[in-house]
Structure 1
């Protein structure tokens, strides 16, 4: 019984402080200091420094209330790990296409809180920081309609697309590849 209590205590402690839950050897930075941890890896072949990365991330799963959306953090991880590996930040362009339940992660705090028992939007601060680094956010208009989200409800800078399918099609025509994670 004592072992179970100890495990529950540790689990609660890790849930309350995500920094403690970070895996050994993973660090944030060099671009995003508060999120997007990565590990240094000795690769079999060096990455070419001149390559232009244009990556679209697809986000459908909603974050737990007050938590950073995992796929949005993955986009930050992509940037952090490649800059850490020597790729110039200006060679990395990221677009995040959001649909389904994750649509609610792109709304202003007053809307988010009203829909999540007063919880803070745990993705809002990261979205603002990512946008300052050129990351674009595209909300599926069909999902927005399904979840009663208007353009006025969106966090600053979030773009409303006709649909996620349309956003992905246009991004692919602009040279973006879809990240499968």
Structure 2
């Protein structure tokens, strides 16, 4: 009888532990993308009273052009991680400059279809990022180097003179630079 009780208590403890960690992804600031999870034991967390100024230098291309780029989704995760920690959306000042191999993530559906035979899976993520207040730029130099024109890119994206000058404009203004 004691063995059965001990086994039952052990099983109940395992089930409780599993239920504690088996949670659904959360999307506090960027709806539907960049799902993140609460980590109740975390002792280091973003300070919800701070203003966050973040410049994302995105140059890494997608692993599979038929799937959302993990780097685009990572911007959504960045936002959502801060939001889950209690940082209000108005305290998040995020700018993304896309260049290099990542430039194809900002193509409009027509141009993306020509290259990959699918709609651009990144555009809904970029829309959700814009809705969350993220400014997204494409490097004009990268566009020229790849013979892309304004009509080839999504209207969600603003054209910058260059990634280099966008970064050197915002970093001196206190933006933290992240490289994706």
Quick check: TM above 0.5? yes
CA 1:24/1:171 → structure 2, altered by over 3 Å: closer, same or farther?
A: farther
- Structure of greater relative contact order (alpha carbons < 8 Å, 6+ residues apart): 2
Query: Residue 15 of structure 2 corresponds to which residue in structure 1?
Result: none
Aligned to 1:37, the other structure's residue is in SS state coil
- CA displacement, residues 121-140 of structure 1 (integer Å, 9 cap, x when unaligned): 11011101111111111111
Aligned to 1:78, the other structure's residue is in SS state helix
Q: CA RMSD in A?
A: 1.9
How far 1:51 moved relative to its partner?
Answer: 0.4
Contact 2:138 2:160 in 1 (8 A): yes
Query: Residue 19 of structure 1 corresponds to which residue in structure 2?
Result: none
- Within a 5 Å distance, the mapping from 1:106-145 to structure 2 comes to 106-116=106-116, 118-145=117-144
Query: Residue 83 of structure 1 corresponds to which residue in structure 2?
Result: 83
Contact 2:29 2:79 in 1 (8 A): yes
Please report the TM-score for the alignment, with normalisation by the length of structure 2: 0.80
How far 1:88 moved relative to its partner?
Answer: 1.0
Q: Structure 1 residue runs of 4+, over 3 Å off?
A: 23-26
Query: Residue 3 of structure 1 corresponds to which residue in structure 2?
Result: none
- Within a 5 Å distance, the mapping from 1:23-172 to structure 2 comes to 25=23, 27-41=25-39, 42-45=41-44, 47-63=46-62, 64-116=64-116, 118-172=117-171
Aligned to 1:120, the other structure's residue is in SS state coil
Please report the TM-score for the alignment, with normalisation by the length of structure 1: 0.79
Where structure 2 has 5 or more consecutive residues not aligned to the other structure, the ranges are: 1-20
Larger Rg: 2
How far 1:95 moved relative to its partner?
Answer: 0.9
Question: How many residues get paired?
Answer: 158
